[in-house]
Homo-oligomer: A and B are copies of this chain.
Amino acid sequence: MIPTSPFHGLSAFPLTPAGAEGRVDVDALGVLIERLVSAGVDSIGLLGSTGTYAYLDRQERSRAVAAAVEIVRGRVPLIVGVGALRTSWARSLAQDAERLGGDALLLAPMSYTPLTGEEVAAHFEAVAGATGLPLCIYNNPGTTHFTFSENLLARLSHHPRIAGVKMPLPADEDFAGEIARLRNATPDDFAVGYSGDWGAVPALLAGADAWYSVVAGLLPGPALRLTRAAQAGRTDEAEAIDGAFQRLWTLFRAHGSLRVMYVIAGLLGLPAGEPPQPIQPLPDAVTAEVEAALADLDAVSGDRPKV
């Protein structure tokens, strides 16, 4: 398949290194992104939930985008998260991303007052219409507290700029059924991808267009091997690599993947800083568990020197 949008393959979501007051360390961000591009990921998901976009103001998000564009230099598509509570803010962030050289947008329906489907539809249409960039719907009820109906996704998929969706893992684990329903209700070139790293193998084996991956933001090597095996239908290989990730997935589910990513960065000696407060670093006791989980990946990883 020839991708018609940037929303295909392995999209790696880097952390955004920043200080306690929310000032982005653009040099450190550049180090993280260069590793991902060099590893060969299919896109960079800048300022996703893993990139702590919700905790960075407009100026800092612009600094992050500008730094990322400079590092990526067009080698892979740069997808920029532009979610914000207010429609006018999200529009401005989308326009910033386009002006600074981003390739695509990722928009989550952040909420405070719970939103109706009509309100989310109008929000997405307003932001999608603000730039010429393709936009991916960021369907992430765990953080936004809004759940897209399949009808709403189908409606939005017909907007000329809305080119894909990043789905959460289906509660019934029926990836094939959900993908079939979404394909049936959306244009042929609308891309259906998944997040929730522990569901990547079944999602890709069921024909998902993309894996929006937290772990690939720091461990692109094994994430790429998993992706390529699953995309090619090499089930045994994909499941073997997934097996090596199991201890890490357990920690992601127990502590939240974001908190664990900061521990991984520390163990890899990468400059990620600390999570934005109120989110706190995990206690030291967890570090040993993450270290053990990473050791499981040695056989499938080129990211980390053997001990």
Contact = CB atoms under 8 A, between A and B. Distances in A.
Interface of A: 20-22, 49, 52, 54-55, 85-89, 109-110, 112-116, 118-120, 122-123, 126, 142-143, 145, 256, 258, 276-280
A145 B209 CA distance: 31
Copies of the polypeptide in the assembly: 2
26 contacts: A49-B112, A52-B113, A54-B85, A55-B86, A55-B112, A86-B276, A86-B277, A87-B276, A87-B277, A109-B278, A113-B143, A113-B256, A113-B279, A114-B142, A114-B143, A114-B256, A115-B278, A118-B280, A119-B278, A119-B279, A119-B280, A120-B278, A122-B277, A122-B280, A123-B277, A123-B278
Given A22-B89, A86-B277, 6 more contacts: A52-B113, A109-B278, A110-B112, A114-B256, A119-B280, A122-B278
B85 A55 contact: yes
Contacts of A49: 112-113
A88 B119 CA distance: 30
Contact of A143 (B54, B87, B112, B276): B112
Contacts of A112: 49, 54-55, 110, 143
Taking chain A's interface residues, is the majority helix, strand, or loop, or is none over half, making it mixed?
Answer: loop
A261 B121 CA distance: 23
A112 B109 CA distance: 11
**Which of A55, A87, A115, A278 has most B Cβ within 10 Å?**
A278
Nearest to A89: B22
**Which of A52, A54, A109, A112 has most B Cβ within 10 Å?**
A112
- A-B complex: 9 closest residue pairs judged by Cβ atoms: A54-B112, A123-B278, A87-B277, A119-B278, A55-B86, A21-B88, A87-B278, A112-B143, A119-B280
A116 B280 CA distance: 9
Contacts of A21: 88
Contacts of A120: 278
Contacts of A279: 113, 115, 119
Contacts of A87: 276-278
Contacts of A143: 112-114
Contacts of A119: 277-280
A88 B122 contact: no
A52 B85 CA distance: 11
Given A118-B280, A278-B122, A258 B113 contact: yes
Nearest to A86: B55
A58 to B, nearest CB: 9
A276 B260 CA distance: 35
A85 B22 CA distance: 11
A305 B276 CA distance: 51
